[in-house]
Amino acid sequence: MARSVAFSSSISTMPSSSAAAAAAALEAVQVLVTSLADESPVARDAALAALREIAPMNPLLVLDCCATVSRGGRRRFGNIAGVFLVMASAVKALDRSDAEREFLRKLAKIATAEIVSSKELNVDWQRAAASLLVAIGSHDPDLMMEELFLYFAGPTSALPAMLQILADFASAEAFRCWCQAAWQYIGDAPSELPFDTDVMSFMNSVFELLLKVWTGSRDLKVRLSSVEALGEMVGLVTRSQLKSALPRIIPTMLDLCRKDQEIAFVASHSLHNLLNASLLSESGPPLLDFEELTVVLITLLPLASANTSKFEHSYVSKGLKTYNEIQHCFLVISSAYPEDLCMFLLNLIVVMASNCYLSGHPAELAVEFLLVLWPFILKLIIPKKYTGAVATICKCITELCRHKLSQTNPLYTEFNASNEIPNPEDLFARLLVLLHNPLARGQLATHILMVMCYLGQLFPRNLSLFLQDEVPKMKAYIGDPEDLKQDSTYQETWDDMIINFLAESLDVVNDSEWVISLGDAFARQYDLYATCDGHSALLHRCLGMLLQKVDDRIYVREKIDWMCAHSSMSIPINRLGLAQGIGLVAASHLDTVLEKLKNILENAGQSALQRFLSLFSLGAKVEDVDDTYAALALMYGYAARYAPSTVIEARINALVSLALSACTTLVSIEPRLPMETRNRVMKATLGFFALPTEPSNIVESLITNLIILLGAILLTSGEDGRSRAEQLLHILRQLDPYVSSSAEHQRRRGCAAVNEVLVKFRNLCSGGFGVLGSYPTFTLNKQIDQAAPRSLSTAFVLPTRDSLSLGERIMAYLPRCADTDAEVRKVAIQILALFFNIALSLPKKKASVNDIDLESSYSALSSLEDIVSIIRREASIDQAEVFHRVVSSLCVLLSKDELVVLLHSCTLAACDKVKQSSDGSIQAIIMFIIRRGKELREADVLRATQSLLSSAVSLTNKESRREVLNAISCLAENTNHTIVFNEVLFVAGRDICTKDIARIRGGWAIQDVFHAFSQHKVLAILFLEYILSILHKEPVATNDSEKGEITSESSADDCILQATMFALNAFLRGGGKIGKQAVEQSYPSVLSALILKLGSLHGLAELGRNELLRSLLIAFQSFCDCVGDIEMGKILARDGEQTEKEKWIDLVQEVACSSSVKRPKEVLPTCSILSKALNKNQRAEREAAAAALSEYIRHSEKEPILLDQMVLELCQHVSDDSPTVRSLCLRGLVQIPKSCIPKYIQQVLGVILALLEDTKESVQLTAVQCLLTVLNVSEQDAIDPVLINLLVRLRNLQVSMNTKMRSNAFAAYGALSAYGVGSQQFLEQIHATLPRLILHLHDDDLSVRLACRNTFQLLAPLMEVDGLSSLLSKKYFTSDRRSDYEDFIRDLTRQLCRLSPARVDSYLESAIQAFDAPWPVIKANAVCLVSCMLSFLDDQRFLAPYFSQVFAILVGRLSQSPDAVVRAASSSALGLLIKRSNVVKTLTPKFDRADSSQNSQHGDTHTKTSSEPQQETIDMPNDTQREQ
């Protein structure tokens, strides 16, 4: 700050020491004046109070400093009111000799200049200025009145520039009104404008001026007025002038449209006029191309969708007007470019929807505005080029429809039948076929279903109602894509649902004309899909289903021809779709279909010749012929499948004869079919096994021929044994659905076919071709009879036993051995005997030779063949006995590897559709496990477990599931139980993380497995130990915040842990007596595991992942119920989900307390387990163990050995790397029973002393709190050795940033006073701590203040200071008001300053060090304490060094502090020290009149203000006298 020249000259004449003091005092006054502009009111008030106290000592000094800062007025000095108040106080304190008239006049001009220069009323500073004038008037009333009267007359201040701007606006407004009048005139009398050349010239000039000058103004009002005027002129200027103006005026208008409603309305109205004049003028074409209008559209679209509801009521009407003007802009553009605008908006809405801008509340108005697109957006659904965007388009339509329906204004009334809009039938057909892929990107199927539902009113009424019912069901099926993917047949199921949906829709409509129209729509859309795409196959089926509903045979024939013409039989998926479509047509038009198939067969004709000639050609046609025959086979098969049985009976001979003729010809002629084609033929013909039983004579004959066809396929399948073995397995697997069918006649046919095929294969392997070596008599054409021997002429290489897949095949037919039908049982046993008859005649791999005992095997086979002979002869034999003997033989016949495969393939057998067969299969599995389970390797046990679990999951019947559970328990008991438990737990974890187990139909099977284990006499204790081992070893995510690290496990580990806790809960809830007995036996282990896991999972919950903790709490609650500890259950229910570390540690301690009270005998083993857990790697588990032990130690009074062990463990782990563990160990030590604590007091104090210097503040805090606890039970002789060390460490903690630490450190310091009576060392420690204690008596925190007050009262009697106790009894000692604290400081320092200089010196040093404290209030307290001490010291030699040091700090650093309380305290201290020093009285400055005159020139006599009421003045002398 610049200093006054007068003061500088006067200071320079003083002696050096006095000059330094005077300079410091002057600088302090200047700092105080500057502080009047502080941003904090508290600091301003403190500076004001200090200056008022200083002013009477040297008024001229204060006036000089105030006059200096008043230069530039209030614009440069923020608190001119404070300056005027200080100046008023100084003027009042002036002596009569110093109050010269000219001097006072200059002060008056400073005040009046500020008053007259203001355009606004500011009561504070004007009142302060008035107070200065009143103070001047107290010395010279005439001068004050004379100065005021100078401003009563004459004009007020005015700015010419402002007048000019106001004039410009007035001119623009007038011209706008004139233009409006001209428009009105033209509208009333339409003719040419009655403007002469002068008017037009003037108008053009004004237009150019507005456009080129005023629209570019920086002032918003000027721009807006200009745009408003231009908007009225656009129709009055020439087209050429308007066109040249467009590039400049449009951006300006668009920019103003983005402003608030008032401005946007004017700008949008002008834009509307501009677009109308530019695009719809009768004088010529539009002046703007559509591409040039895109920027206008892009700008206006968001504005059109703005939500006017956010405005106040006064803005609503203006907002609606703006909205209407913007709508008019769109209407003008649509009138000029309707098609272009429509396509622009269509493309825009597709982009917006694809980026999720049309969903949610914020986009409602945007959607409402875009409803103008309806129904044109429907045009985008049909074209092939938009196929990839259909999901987005459907999303748009959904949002539009939903919004429109919410306003009860249906869209469908706006739909028209113009050629540009697709008709409803085309839309329905397109959307239905596009449903094909339920997992398509963008949830296509879901969006299509929603659109079909919303567009329902476009379709016949009955169909609309049907859609409302059926669409939600279809959406539910595809609602969970992940669950859908688990079903391998989801695509087939979904396509069937679509076809059924179409069929029901057609039935509901019942309108032949609409159905015909829809069929035409399907036919037109074949070109939209590639033939290799599944959509094309679905389209075949859709059209086939529709033709099924049509009675017009000619129409049906035409559409069948159309389907075939638009198909590709060489593409498997399209061929299959065509066959299914033709089959659907056959349901109503079988004759028409058969006629078409016959024509195809005839056209394909010459098959033998073509295939023969193809050998000499390039082979281009061979594949076509194969594909045609394959397609024919499929079409015949599906025709037989879909056609009604009553219709088939009349045509079955022709239908099946054609089919079998085509198929047998196809597989028998040379060259042979490829394997893939042969398999397709077989798959197409196998459907005949499902034919009804009647008419029996025809059906049975067909089944026999079909079996013969299978034999032909086997015989022509290859040249060696291996290839024929592969074909055998393929045939058998294709027959499996019929072998395991729920229909009895299908099981008979399937088993008979298997038996016959096996007989033929055995004959092949034995070298013969019939029973007596002759070729079997097949009912085939001559081509087969000629071709078959030729195919068998080559050497036949036998397959190996392994190629038969005996384990899989035996398990496939084993359920039939327990079938309800006697004929099926008999054939099934024959099949098993036949399999092993073949197997024992085949070579084996070298590795498996030793696994088979041939002698035992032949004996078992003989036994099996005996059973076959018996059941052929005797029908009344005991079925259970037969089945048992069959299984016993199989146990011997199966090799080890075959047994493994059998167990792995047991799922289908255990879940057989016939319950009796299912139960028999499970009993067989149990027998296999009991007799040969020891042979299974770990991997074998794993696979067997997986299969049995799959069976349990698939079975919903409780009784059948119980049998499977017995099998799983048997597997665990007779093999490696750990492998079984591991797999069960893994499956449980997977289910928990991927399924809603509470909603699984039939209940969750894995839970039943858990119950089965817990109720098993042998497995119960093993399973409980297994669960506890998983809980102990399984890592979990922890939040190691102390190390700054966060570790996390994989989601798979989470699932396993979830499953483990679920298993434990199931064990505790469903174990019954056996399970409860196991829990009681393992009580310490279970409780310890739960406590430790409780800690680790709370650590995980701190990361926001609470699901594992909830699962554990459920299991813990079940444990409480199981062992009957109701109190522990209540504790868990109350505080179990607390995630804060302190809360869950308290929870663990309460649980430990409850268990120790309920089961005192279990404390010892539980503590033994938890003590070992202190060495675990998991930090959270160590913390949980320490928490529990710290509680258990309270209940160990009667167990001295246990107590010694626990004290030892806790002392050893006070150095744990976890601060929480260290703290808990210490807490445990101080909770040793009172009767036992004297024995361990030295160890406890040693731990406390060490942890007071811990690196973690939380541990230090625990140590302080524990010290307070221990001091209540400690004797003097125990404290004496460590007293001083404790005091020193506590002093270090009293400056902690932690409020709890500070309060407890001060409290402990006071508590130690009981042990320091008569100790000189203790007294020295008190005096060393006293300044800090005084400063924190007014700490920000209440607990610190209370602790300091209590400690002060405890220490006061030991301090030997007279009158100290009486101060502590006064009210201001316990008051929280700062003013009371400062009063206490003044009285206290007055007492302390009477002590020896050495004491005061140490107090000052400590207090001055607190100037650097981290708390602003403590800094302020230190400033107050130091200033008071310096003001009460009488020894000038002792005072001088501190005075200059403190003065420098206050002026240089603390006055610039960022904290207001510090700045305020510094100002008060400076005032106090200036008064104490009396230096300012020695300065005799004179006011610099010339400078003051220059400062006040802006307030000369040429300006005058209006008269105002006289402001209230401040009676400064009285205030000064009272303060003094």
Q: Which two tokens stand for residue 19?
A: 């000059």
% helix, strand, coil for the chain, step of 5: 75, 0, 25
Choice between 22 and 949, residue whose per-residue pLDDT is larger: 949
According to the model, what pLDDT value does residue 141 have?
72
According to the model, what pLDDT value does residue 164 have?
34
Choice between 1447 and 760, residue whose per-residue pLDDT is larger: 760
Cross-strand pairs, 1046: 1039
- pLDDT tens profile 921-950: 999 999 999 999 899 999 999 999 999 998
According to the model, what pLDDT value does residue 670 have?
52
Tell me the mean pLDDT in the region 1065-1086.
90
Judged by average pLDDT, the poorest of 334-338, 372-376, 615-619, 680-684 is 615-619
CA atoms within a 13 Å half-sphere pointing along the CA-CB vector of 1200: 4
Q: Where are the beta strands (DSSP E) in 558-609?
A: none
Cα–Cα distance between 833 and 836 in angstroms, integer?
Answer: 5
Burial label, 940 (beta-carbon count in 10 A; 0-12, 13-18, 19+): buried
Tell me the mean pLDDT in the region 459-487.
87
Separation in Å, CA 623 to CA 565, 631, 717, 1144? 18, 12, 18, 75
- pLDDT tens profile 1454-1496: 778 888 888 888 888 888 888 877 766 666 554 444 344 334 4
Q: Which two tokens stand for residue 994?
A: 């991927």
Over 50: is that where the pLDDT of 772 sits? no
Over 70: is that where the pLDDT of 1316 sits? yes
Largest Cα–Cα distance of the chain, in whole Å?
156
Tell me the mean pLDDT in the region 105-121.
70
Most confident region among 180-184, 319-323, 1308-1312 by mean pLDDT = 1308-1312
Tell me the mean pLDDT in the region 473-486.
86
Judged by average pLDDT, the poorest of 206-215, 603-612, 1195-1204 is 603-612
Contact between 138 and 132 under an 8 Å Cβ cutoff? The reply is no
According to the model, what pLDDT value does residue 407 have?
55
Of the pLDDT bands very low, low, confident and very high (cuts 50, 70, 90), residue 786 is very low
Cα–Cα distance between 124 and 1247 in angstroms, integer?
Answer: 63
According to the model, what pLDDT value does residue 1504 have?
35
Give the DSSP letter of residue 1370.
S
Cα–Cα distance between 230 and 874 in angstroms, integer?
Answer: 113
According to the model, what pLDDT value does residue 431 have?
92
Cα–Cα distance between 1298 and 200 in angstroms, integer?
Answer: 82
Of the pLDDT bands very low, low, confident and very high (cuts 50, 70, 90), residue 186 is low
Tell me the mean pLDDT in the region 66-84.
73
According to the model, what pLDDT value does residue 547 have?
94
Over 60: is that where the pLDDT of 1042 sits? no
Tell me the mean pLDDT in the region 1271-1285.
85
Over 50: is that where the pLDDT of 4 sits? no
Identify the three-state secondary structure at position 1040.
strand
Taking the alpha carbons at both ends of the chain, their separation in whole angstroms is 29
Of the pLDDT bands very low, low, confident and very high (cuts 50, 70, 90), residue 647 is low
Q: Which two tokens stand for residue 887?
A: 């299984």
Cα–Cα distance between 1393 and 1403 in angstroms, integer?
Answer: 10
Look-up of token digits 């404070």 = 82
Over 60: is that where the pLDDT of 564 sits? yes
Choice between 626 and 510, residue whose per-residue pLDDT is larger: 510
Nearest to 128 by CA among 109, 138, 114: 114
According to the model, what pLDDT value does residue 758 have?
92
Tell me the mean pLDDT in the region 572-600.
88
Judged by average pLDDT, the poorest of 91-105, 680-694, 796-810, 812-826 is 680-694
Cα–Cα distance between 518 and 588 in angstroms, integer?
Answer: 18
Give the DSSP letter of residue 669.
S
Model pTM score: 0.57
Contact between 112 and 1505 under an 8 Å Cβ cutoff? The reply is yes
Over 50: is that where the pLDDT of 6 sits? no
Tell me the mean pLDDT in the region 1313-1333.
86
Tell me the mean pLDDT in the region 320-343.
82
Cα–Cα distance between 1162 and 1176 in angstroms, integer?
Answer: 22
- pLDDT tens profile 391-408: 877 877 777 777 666 555
Sign of CA dihedral 440, 446, 449, 450: negative
Cα–Cα distance between 1144 and 231 in angstroms, integer?
Answer: 72
- pLDDT tens profile 1089-1132: 999 888 888 767 666 677 888 888 899 899 999 988 888 989 88
Of the pLDDT bands very low, low, confident and very high (cuts 50, 70, 90), residue 1346 is very high
Cis preceding-peptide flag for 815 (omega within 30 of 0): no
Over 60: is that where the pLDDT of 167 sits? no
Tell me the mean pLDDT in the region 853-870.
87
- Of all helices (H) and strands (E), which one includes residue 1046? strand 1045-1047
- Of all helices (H) and strands (E), which one includes residue 1047? strand 1045-1047
Choice between 225 and 1258, residue whose per-residue pLDDT is larger: 1258
Judged by average pLDDT, the poorest of 543-557, 582-596, 1054-1068, 1425-1439 is 1425-1439
Average pLDDT of the chain to the nearest whole number = 78
